[in-house]
Amino acid sequence: MSLAATKREESTRPGTFEVLAADGPARRGRLATAHGCFDTPAFMPVATQGTVKGLTPAQLRELGAQIVLSNAYHLSLRPGSQLIRDLGGLHRFMGWDGPILTDSGGYQIFSLAALRKISDAGVEFRSHVDGAAIFLSPEDVVRIQVDLGVDIIMVLDECAPGESSRDEAQRAAERSFAWAERCRATATGDGQLMFGIVQGGIYPELRVANARKLVTLNFPGYAVGGLSVGEDRAITMAVAEGTVAELPSNRPRYLMGVGLPEDLIRFVNMGYDMFDCVLPTRNGRNGMLFTSRGKLNVRLARYARDERPADPDCTCYSCRSFSRAYLRHLSQTNEMLGGAMASLHNLHFYQTLMREMRAAIEANRLAAWSSVALVQLNEGIDA
Protein backbone atom coordinates (compact mmCIF):
# COMPACT_ATOMS: atom_id res chain seq x y z
CA MET A 1 0.00 0.00 0.00
CA SER A 2 1.32 3.44 -0.94
CA LEU A 3 2.00 6.11 1.68
CA ALA A 4 -0.88 8.22 0.29
CA ALA A 5 -3.27 5.25 0.50
CA THR A 6 -2.12 4.52 4.04
CA LYS A 7 -2.79 8.12 5.08
CA ARG A 8 -6.25 8.00 3.48
CA GLU A 9 -7.05 4.80 5.35
CA GLU A 10 -5.83 6.27 8.63
CA SER A 11 -7.88 9.45 8.13
CA THR A 12 -11.09 7.42 7.87
CA ARG A 13 -10.38 5.09 10.80
CA PRO A 14 -13.08 5.65 13.49
CA GLY A 15 -11.77 7.99 16.15
CA THR A 16 -9.28 9.82 13.94
CA PHE A 17 -9.62 13.55 14.53
CA GLU A 18 -7.74 15.85 12.18
CA VAL A 19 -7.30 19.54 12.87
CA LEU A 20 -7.17 20.86 9.31
CA ALA A 21 -6.82 24.54 10.18
CA ALA A 22 -6.65 26.75 13.25
CA ASP A 23 -7.36 30.42 13.85
CA GLY A 24 -6.46 31.33 17.41
CA PRO A 25 -8.14 28.77 19.69
CA ALA A 26 -10.73 27.95 17.00
CA ARG A 27 -10.22 24.80 14.94
CA ARG A 28 -11.59 23.49 11.67
CA GLY A 29 -11.44 19.72 11.89
CA ARG A 30 -12.84 16.40 10.79
CA LEU A 31 -13.78 13.37 12.90
CA ALA A 32 -13.99 9.91 11.38
CA THR A 33 -16.68 7.49 12.56
CA ALA A 34 -17.89 4.07 11.49
CA HIS A 35 -20.58 5.76 9.39
CA GLY A 36 -18.37 8.36 7.75
CA CYS A 37 -16.58 11.57 8.61
CA PHE A 38 -18.12 14.86 9.66
CA ASP A 39 -16.65 18.34 9.58
CA THR A 40 -16.17 20.52 12.64
CA PRO A 41 -17.23 22.92 14.00
CA ALA A 42 -20.47 20.93 13.74
CA PHE A 43 -24.02 21.47 14.91
CA MET A 44 -25.98 18.25 15.50
CA PRO A 45 -29.75 18.39 14.90
CA VAL A 46 -31.55 16.74 17.82
CA ALA A 47 -33.42 13.52 16.97
CA THR A 48 -34.38 12.55 20.54
CA GLN A 49 -36.78 9.75 19.58
CA GLY A 50 -34.91 8.74 16.44
CA THR A 51 -36.33 11.59 14.37
CA VAL A 52 -35.71 15.30 13.95
CA LYS A 53 -39.28 16.52 14.41
CA GLY A 54 -40.91 17.35 11.08
CA LEU A 55 -37.92 16.57 8.84
CA THR A 56 -36.92 13.54 6.81
CA PRO A 57 -33.33 12.24 6.64
CA ALA A 58 -33.22 13.38 3.00
CA GLN A 59 -34.12 16.92 4.04
CA LEU A 60 -31.43 16.86 6.73
CA ARG A 61 -28.85 15.86 4.14
CA GLU A 62 -30.05 18.57 1.75
CA LEU A 63 -29.67 21.31 4.34
CA GLY A 64 -26.15 20.14 5.16
CA ALA A 65 -26.42 18.09 8.37
CA GLN A 66 -23.71 15.45 8.65
CA ILE A 67 -24.38 14.02 12.15
CA VAL A 68 -27.48 13.84 14.36
CA LEU A 69 -28.04 13.33 18.08
CA SER A 70 -30.51 10.87 19.59
CA ASN A 71 -31.26 10.00 23.22
CA ALA A 72 -30.44 6.56 24.61
CA TYR A 73 -32.71 6.94 27.65
CA HIS A 74 -35.81 7.76 25.61
CA LEU A 75 -35.14 5.10 22.98
CA SER A 76 -34.59 2.50 25.70
CA LEU A 77 -38.16 3.16 26.89
CA ARG A 78 -39.78 3.29 23.47
CA PRO A 79 -39.41 1.19 21.39
CA GLY A 80 -36.57 -0.45 23.35
CA SER A 81 -32.88 -0.76 22.48
CA GLN A 82 -33.06 -4.52 21.95
CA LEU A 83 -35.89 -4.14 19.43
CA ILE A 84 -33.83 -1.54 17.54
CA ARG A 85 -30.82 -3.88 17.67
CA ASP A 86 -32.89 -6.77 16.30
CA LEU A 87 -34.13 -4.56 13.46
CA GLY A 88 -30.60 -3.72 12.35
CA GLY A 89 -29.62 -0.82 14.59
CA LEU A 90 -30.65 2.80 14.87
CA HIS A 91 -29.21 3.88 11.52
CA ARG A 92 -31.35 1.41 9.63
CA PHE A 93 -34.33 1.94 11.94
CA MET A 94 -34.51 5.70 11.32
CA GLY A 95 -33.21 5.70 7.75
CA TRP A 96 -30.12 7.80 8.47
CA ASP A 97 -26.81 6.53 7.11
CA GLY A 98 -24.53 9.17 8.65
CA PRO A 99 -22.95 9.38 12.09
CA ILE A 100 -25.19 9.30 15.19
CA LEU A 101 -24.27 10.41 18.71
CA THR A 102 -26.50 9.39 21.61
CA ASP A 103 -26.88 11.31 24.84
CA SER A 104 -26.70 8.80 27.67
CA GLY A 105 -29.56 9.99 29.86
CA GLY A 106 -27.41 12.18 32.08
CA TYR A 107 -29.48 15.23 31.20
CA GLN A 108 -32.63 13.35 32.24
CA ILE A 109 -31.10 13.09 35.73
CA PHE A 110 -31.51 16.87 35.74
CA SER A 111 -34.73 17.31 33.75
CA LEU A 112 -36.65 14.42 35.39
CA ALA A 113 -35.47 15.17 38.93
CA ALA A 114 -38.92 14.46 40.39
CA LEU A 115 -38.89 10.96 38.87
CA ARG A 116 -35.45 9.67 39.84
CA LYS A 117 -33.17 8.70 42.72
CA ILE A 118 -29.39 8.79 42.39
CA SER A 119 -26.86 6.58 44.13
CA ASP A 120 -23.26 5.68 43.41
CA ALA A 121 -24.56 2.49 41.79
CA GLY A 122 -26.61 4.38 39.19
CA VAL A 123 -29.98 6.05 38.69
CA GLU A 124 -33.44 4.76 39.47
CA PHE A 125 -36.10 6.35 37.28
CA ARG A 126 -39.86 6.23 37.44
CA SER A 127 -40.73 6.06 33.76
CA HIS A 128 -42.51 9.18 32.50
CA VAL A 129 -44.26 6.88 29.99
CA ASP A 130 -45.99 4.32 32.21
CA GLY A 131 -44.60 4.84 35.73
CA ALA A 132 -42.54 1.64 35.67
CA ALA A 133 -39.40 1.52 37.81
CA ILE A 134 -36.17 1.56 35.78
CA PHE A 135 -32.64 1.28 37.11
CA LEU A 136 -29.71 2.32 34.94
CA SER A 137 -26.10 1.75 35.92
CA PRO A 138 -23.23 3.26 33.94
CA GLU A 139 -22.67 -0.17 32.39
CA ASP A 140 -26.36 -0.44 31.43
CA VAL A 141 -26.21 2.89 29.64
CA VAL A 142 -23.22 1.78 27.58
CA ARG A 143 -24.89 -1.51 26.70
CA ILE A 144 -28.03 0.32 25.54
CA GLN A 145 -25.94 2.45 23.20
CA VAL A 146 -24.09 -0.62 21.97
CA ASP A 147 -27.46 -2.20 21.13
CA LEU A 148 -28.45 0.95 19.24
CA GLY A 149 -25.27 0.65 17.19
CA VAL A 150 -24.47 4.35 17.31
CA ASP A 151 -21.15 5.92 16.40
CA ILE A 152 -20.52 8.04 19.50
CA ILE A 153 -21.49 6.81 22.97
CA MET A 154 -21.74 9.28 25.84
CA VAL A 155 -20.92 8.20 29.38
CA LEU A 156 -23.49 8.44 32.14
CA ASP A 157 -23.01 11.60 34.17
CA GLU A 158 -24.80 13.58 36.86
CA CYS A 159 -25.83 17.03 35.68
CA ALA A 160 -26.07 19.31 38.72
CA PRO A 161 -28.55 22.24 38.50
CA GLY A 162 -27.14 25.71 37.96
CA GLU A 163 -28.00 26.82 41.49
CA SER A 164 -26.17 23.90 43.12
CA SER A 165 -23.87 24.64 46.04
CA ARG A 166 -20.17 23.94 45.70
CA ASP A 167 -20.50 20.76 47.79
CA GLU A 168 -23.40 19.51 45.64
CA ALA A 169 -21.50 20.26 42.42
CA GLN A 170 -18.40 18.53 43.74
CA ARG A 171 -20.33 15.39 44.71
CA ALA A 172 -21.91 15.28 41.25
CA ALA A 173 -18.53 15.76 39.56
CA GLU A 174 -16.89 13.03 41.64
CA ARG A 175 -19.75 10.62 40.96
CA SER A 176 -19.62 11.48 37.24
CA PHE A 177 -15.91 10.64 37.15
CA ALA A 178 -16.47 7.32 38.94
CA TRP A 179 -19.23 6.51 36.43
CA ALA A 180 -16.93 7.53 33.55
CA GLU A 181 -14.34 5.01 34.77
CA ARG A 182 -16.97 2.28 34.80
CA CYS A 183 -18.26 3.24 31.36
CA ARG A 184 -14.72 3.24 29.97
CA ALA A 185 -14.24 -0.31 31.26
CA THR A 186 -17.42 -1.55 29.53
CA ALA A 187 -17.08 -3.20 26.12
CA THR A 188 -18.32 -1.33 23.05
CA GLY A 189 -18.97 -2.45 19.49
CA ASP A 190 -16.48 -2.28 16.63
CA GLY A 191 -15.80 1.30 15.63
CA GLN A 192 -17.89 2.83 18.41
CA LEU A 193 -16.34 5.85 20.11
CA MET A 194 -16.97 6.91 23.72
CA PHE A 195 -16.79 10.50 24.95
CA GLY A 196 -16.22 11.54 28.55
CA ILE A 197 -18.19 14.43 30.09
CA VAL A 198 -16.74 17.16 32.30
CA GLN A 199 -18.91 18.27 35.23
CA GLY A 200 -18.37 20.68 38.12
CA GLY A 201 -21.28 23.10 38.07
CA ILE A 202 -20.46 26.80 37.96
CA TYR A 203 -17.23 26.38 39.93
CA PRO A 204 -14.13 26.83 37.72
CA GLU A 205 -11.77 24.97 40.06
CA LEU A 206 -14.10 21.94 40.09
CA ARG A 207 -14.30 21.99 36.31
CA VAL A 208 -10.52 22.12 35.96
CA ALA A 209 -9.99 19.29 38.43
CA ASN A 210 -12.67 17.11 36.84
CA ALA A 211 -11.34 17.73 33.33
CA ARG A 212 -7.78 16.84 34.32
CA LYS A 213 -8.91 13.57 35.91
CA LEU A 214 -11.10 12.71 32.94
CA VAL A 215 -8.25 13.21 30.47
CA THR A 216 -6.31 10.43 32.23
CA LEU A 217 -8.95 7.97 30.97
CA ASN A 218 -7.92 8.73 27.36
CA PHE A 219 -11.33 9.08 25.77
CA PRO A 220 -11.53 9.61 21.97
CA GLY A 221 -13.42 12.87 22.67
CA TYR A 222 -14.51 15.08 25.54
CA ALA A 223 -17.75 16.90 26.28
CA VAL A 224 -18.56 19.70 28.69
CA GLY A 225 -21.97 19.14 30.27
CA GLY A 226 -24.09 20.83 32.89
CA LEU A 227 -24.06 24.35 31.46
CA SER A 228 -27.10 26.44 30.45
CA VAL A 229 -29.08 24.71 33.20
CA GLY A 230 -30.22 27.79 35.08
CA GLU A 231 -27.03 29.72 35.73
CA ASP A 232 -26.43 33.30 34.57
CA ARG A 233 -25.32 33.50 30.92
CA ALA A 234 -22.11 35.32 31.82
CA ILE A 235 -21.20 32.43 34.11
CA THR A 236 -21.88 29.97 31.30
CA MET A 237 -19.45 31.82 29.07
CA ALA A 238 -16.73 32.10 31.71
CA VAL A 239 -16.93 28.45 32.78
CA ALA A 240 -17.02 27.22 29.17
CA GLU A 241 -13.93 29.24 28.28
CA GLY A 242 -12.03 28.14 31.37
CA THR A 243 -12.84 24.46 30.83
CA VAL A 244 -11.99 24.11 27.15
CA ALA A 245 -8.36 24.98 27.84
CA GLU A 246 -8.06 21.79 29.92
CA LEU A 247 -9.16 19.48 27.11
CA PRO A 248 -6.68 17.85 24.71
CA SER A 249 -6.07 19.75 21.49
CA ASN A 250 -5.95 16.51 19.49
CA ARG A 251 -9.44 15.35 20.48
CA PRO A 252 -12.88 16.77 19.60
CA ARG A 253 -14.44 19.05 22.22
CA TYR A 254 -18.22 18.98 22.55
CA LEU A 255 -20.22 21.62 24.43
CA MET A 256 -23.55 20.00 25.24
CA GLY A 257 -27.01 21.53 24.94
CA VAL A 258 -26.20 25.13 24.00
CA GLY A 259 -27.36 26.77 20.84
CA LEU A 260 -28.19 30.45 20.32
CA PRO A 261 -26.46 31.44 17.07
CA GLU A 262 -24.49 34.28 18.67
CA ASP A 263 -23.34 31.95 21.45
CA LEU A 264 -22.19 29.30 18.97
CA ILE A 265 -19.96 31.90 17.36
CA ARG A 266 -18.40 32.72 20.72
CA PHE A 267 -17.97 29.06 21.67
CA VAL A 268 -16.28 28.22 18.35
CA ASN A 269 -13.90 31.11 19.00
CA MET A 270 -13.08 29.47 22.36
CA GLY A 271 -12.09 26.20 20.67
CA TYR A 272 -15.21 24.01 20.86
CA ASP A 273 -15.93 21.69 17.94
CA MET A 274 -19.39 20.12 18.45
CA PHE A 275 -22.77 21.40 19.59
CA ASP A 276 -26.40 20.34 19.90
CA CYS A 277 -29.58 22.09 20.97
CA VAL A 278 -33.35 21.77 20.55
CA LEU A 279 -33.76 25.51 19.92
CA PRO A 280 -33.90 25.40 16.10
CA THR A 281 -36.77 22.91 16.00
CA ARG A 282 -38.54 23.82 19.24
CA ASN A 283 -38.54 27.52 18.40
CA GLY A 284 -39.58 26.74 14.84
CA ARG A 285 -42.65 24.84 16.02
CA ASN A 286 -43.60 27.96 17.96
CA GLY A 287 -43.22 30.37 15.06
CA MET A 288 -39.75 31.70 15.91
CA LEU A 289 -37.23 31.73 13.07
CA PHE A 290 -33.51 32.48 13.22
CA THR A 291 -32.29 34.69 10.41
CA SER A 292 -29.16 36.55 9.33
CA ARG A 293 -30.69 39.68 10.89
CA GLY A 294 -31.87 38.19 14.18
CA LYS A 295 -35.02 36.42 15.32
CA LEU A 296 -38.29 36.60 13.41
CA ASN A 297 -41.55 35.90 15.26
CA VAL A 298 -43.63 35.00 12.25
CA ARG A 299 -46.86 34.95 14.28
CA LEU A 300 -46.91 38.74 14.62
CA ALA A 301 -49.74 40.56 12.88
CA ARG A 302 -47.30 42.77 10.96
CA TYR A 303 -46.45 39.80 8.73
CA ALA A 304 -50.02 38.98 7.69
CA ARG A 305 -49.48 40.52 4.21
CA ASP A 306 -45.70 40.29 4.03
CA GLU A 307 -44.70 38.64 0.75
CA ARG A 308 -40.99 38.46 1.56
CA PRO A 309 -39.32 35.18 2.53
CA ALA A 310 -38.46 34.69 6.20
CA ASP A 311 -34.83 35.57 5.42
CA PRO A 312 -34.02 37.18 2.05
CA ASP A 313 -30.43 35.94 2.37
CA CYS A 314 -31.45 32.30 2.88
CA THR A 315 -31.53 29.63 0.15
CA CYS A 316 -33.48 26.93 2.04
CA TYR A 317 -36.58 25.34 0.52
CA SER A 318 -38.88 27.28 2.83
CA CYS A 319 -37.41 30.66 1.91
CA ARG A 320 -37.36 29.76 -1.80
CA SER A 321 -41.01 28.71 -1.71
CA PHE A 322 -43.04 30.56 0.94
CA SER A 323 -43.74 34.06 2.17
CA ARG A 324 -43.83 35.30 5.73
CA ALA A 325 -47.57 35.74 5.26
CA TYR A 326 -48.00 32.06 4.42
CA LEU A 327 -45.75 30.89 7.24
CA ARG A 328 -47.75 33.08 9.63
CA HIS A 329 -50.98 31.52 8.39
CA LEU A 330 -49.60 28.01 8.91
CA SER A 331 -48.42 28.87 12.41
CA GLN A 332 -51.66 30.62 13.36
CA THR A 333 -53.72 27.61 12.25
CA ASN A 334 -51.33 25.07 13.83
CA GLU A 335 -50.77 23.33 10.52
CA MET A 336 -48.02 20.72 10.66
CA LEU A 337 -46.34 22.20 7.61
CA GLY A 338 -45.73 25.43 9.50
CA GLY A 339 -43.59 23.83 12.19
CA ALA A 340 -41.83 21.64 9.62
CA MET A 341 -40.90 24.56 7.35
CA ALA A 342 -39.79 26.76 10.24
CA SER A 343 -37.67 23.91 11.62
CA LEU A 344 -36.18 23.23 8.20
CA HIS A 345 -35.29 26.91 7.81
CA ASN A 346 -33.78 27.13 11.29
CA LEU A 347 -31.61 24.06 10.84
CA HIS A 348 -30.52 25.28 7.39
CA PHE A 349 -29.54 28.57 9.04
CA TYR A 350 -27.52 26.75 11.70
CA GLN A 351 -25.75 24.52 9.18
CA THR A 352 -24.94 27.57 7.03
CA LEU A 353 -23.55 29.30 10.12
CA MET A 354 -21.23 26.36 10.81
CA ARG A 355 -20.08 26.19 7.18
CA GLU A 356 -19.28 29.90 7.20
CA MET A 357 -17.29 29.52 10.42
CA ARG A 358 -15.34 26.59 9.00
CA ALA A 359 -14.50 28.68 5.92
CA ALA A 360 -13.52 31.68 8.07
CA ILE A 361 -11.15 29.53 10.14
CA GLU A 362 -9.56 28.13 6.98
CA ALA A 363 -9.06 31.69 5.71
CA ASN A 364 -7.65 32.81 9.09
CA ARG A 365 -10.31 35.50 9.36
CA LEU A 366 -12.65 34.17 12.04
CA ALA A 367 -12.32 37.23 14.30
CA ALA A 368 -13.32 39.63 11.52
CA TRP A 369 -16.12 37.36 10.34
CA SER A 370 -17.42 36.96 13.89
CA SER A 371 -17.51 40.73 14.50
CA VAL A 372 -19.66 41.31 11.42
CA ALA A 373 -21.92 38.31 12.07
CA LEU A 374 -22.60 39.29 15.69
CA VAL A 375 -23.61 42.80 14.62
CA GLN A 376 -25.91 41.46 11.91
CA LEU A 377 -27.57 38.97 14.26
CA ASN A 378 -28.55 41.84 16.53
CA GLU A 379 -29.65 44.35 13.88
CA GLY A 380 -33.27 43.24 13.98
CA ILE A 381 -35.12 41.49 11.15
CA ASP A 382 -36.89 44.65 9.94
CA ALA A 383 -33.83 46.92 10.13
Q: What is the rounded distance in angstroms from the CA atom of residue 327 to the CA atom of residue 284?
A: 11
Angle made by CA atoms 19, 185, 9, in degrees to the nearest 5: 35
User: Active site includes 276?
Assistant: yes
Q: What span, in angstroms and rounded, lies between the C-alpha atoms of 235 and 282?
A: 24
CB 277 within 8 A of CB 257: yes
Query: Pick the catalytic residue: 103, 147, 151, 311?
Result: 103
Secondary structure of the chain as H, E, C letters: CCHHHHHHHHHCCCCCEEEEEEECCEEEEEEEECCEEEEECEEECECCCCCCCCCCHHHHHHHCCCCEEEEHHHHHHCCCHHHHHHCCCHHHHHCCCCCEEEECCHHHHHHCHHHEEEECCEEEEECCCCCCEEEECHHHHHHHHHHHCCCEEECCCCCCCCCCCHHHHHHHHHHHHHHHHHHHCCCCCCCCEEEEEECCCCCHHHHHHHHHHHHCCCCCEEEECCCCCCCCHHHHHHHHHHHHCCCCCCCCEEECCCCCHHHHHHHHHHCCCEEECCHHHHHHHCCEEEECCEEEECCCHHHCCCCCCCCCCCCCHHHHHCCHHHHHHHHHCCCHHHHHHHHHHHHHHHHHHHHHHHHHHHCCCHHHHHHHHHHHHCCCCCC
Selecting among 147, 151, 273, 276, the annotated active-site residue is 276
* 176 in Cβ contact with 202 (< 8 Å): no
Question: At how many degrees (to 10) do helices 336-362 and 261-270 cross?
Answer: 30
151 is catalytic: no
Nearest to 196 by CA among 251, 135, 278: 251
Q: Which residues are catalytic?
A: 103, 276
